[in-house]
Structure 1
Amino acid sequence: MSDLPEDDDGEYEHDFRADPDPYRVGRGEQGVFKVQPYKSELLPLWGYADPETAADAAEAIYERFLRYRREGEFVGMDMARKYLQMGYTRAMRYAHYPGGKKYDEDGNERETVHWADPEKRKAALIFDHVLDRVRSDGTYQERKREWREERG
């Protein structure tokens, strides 16, 4: 995927719905802001400001995951998983670090605080719960295994 040309916004100049073959599962949240048209479909649903926002976002993204599953779009399923994972990691950063600032002005990692922002922790746990549902989904697991075997 990293060999694909990028536009001025850093997105891949590629429609992964029309041609999903170049997509690689990767680690973590890799490609979450680059893979179109899924970025345009999922990013507007995503938010973690508070538990209510997180619950709405996680449910909307999960519904989109189910739609992608019904339509046989593995790339969309995996991108939905990445947005849920990103909701968890971003909210947890704010839960652990005051103001979400992981590094000080010298670039050194700050000490974590348990819990610097308890509301963000609640938001993170909402995403984590839904993320577990996606990761344990049998269809997702099978398609991910097949995708990696066929494409890497």
Structure 2
Amino acid sequence: MNDVVRGDVGEVDDGPEYDVNFRDEPGRYRHTPDERGVFKVEPYKSELLPRWAITDLAAAEEAATAIHDRYCEYRDADDFVGMDVARKYLQMGWTRAMRYAKYPGGRKYEDGEEREPQEWYDEEKREIALVYRDALDAVREDDAYERLQAAHCERYGEE
């Protein structure tokens, strides 16, 4: 079996994606609780990124629903990698929108110094963050997620 993906794998020439199809090689995927890999793990990136949006509340509601629906499709197929990447997109929607809600222009740093957050600089972005957080909470509360994560770790030797 090829090495698992821990950040030291070849990238494709035209982008940051790993040169791995993780649907075909799920054993190379390693779960992380953060958003690492969200723009690299194919084919899931290509399936989820076009659905992701934080431009306005209506777009975010549609996006969070579409991503959660894909999560459910992955779950129904016992595809933990897809489930986890969908979770990462929901998590990214929450964290990115919250950053824009607290910081003008979404910039947490200015001239190398961390800015003081404002509560709430952009109320709509806060609402968007809550939409994504609700969808993320639904994933976090899904027993199938924990069960398939444990099975993935056991099968592929993750700690």
TM-score normalised by the shorter chain: which range applies?
over 0.9
> Which segments of 5 or more consecutive residues in structure 1 lack a partner in the other structure?
none
Deviation of 1:99 after TM superposition, in Å, equals 1.1
The Cα shift of 1:148 comes to 2.6
| AA matched with 2:108 | K
Cα displacement (A) at 1:5: 1.1
Counterpart residue type for residue 64 of structure 2: A
Superposed displacement of residue 51, structure 1: 1.4
**Larger RCO (alpha carbons 8 Å, 6+ apart):** 1
Partner of 2:85: 79
The aligned residue for residue 137 of structure 2 is 132
1:1-152 alignment runs, 5 A limit: 1=5, 2-8=7-13, 9-104=15-110, 106-150=111-155, 151-152=157-158
Question: 1:4: how far off?
Answer: 2.0
Question: 1:57-112, CA deviations, whole angstroms, 9 ceiling, x for partnerless residues?
Answer: 000000000100111111000000000000000000000001111110x2111000
Aligned-partner Cα distance in 2 for 1:103–1:18: 40
Q: CA RMSD in A?
A: 1.0
Which deviates further from its counterpart, 55-64 or 140-149? 140-149
CA distance in 2, matches of 1:127, 1:27: 16
Aligned residues between the structures: 151
Equivalent position SS for 1:21: helix
| C-alpha separation in 1, matches of 2:29 and 2:104 | 36
Per the normalisation by structure 1, the TM-score is 0.96
TM-score (norm 2): 0.92
**Structure 2: runs of 5+ lacking an equivalent:** none
Aligned sequence identity (%): 52
Paired with 1:70 and 1:147, the residues of 2 have a C-alpha distance of: 15
Q: Which amino acid aligns with 1:13?
A: D
Measured in 2, the distance between the counterparts of 1:87 and 1:26 equals 17
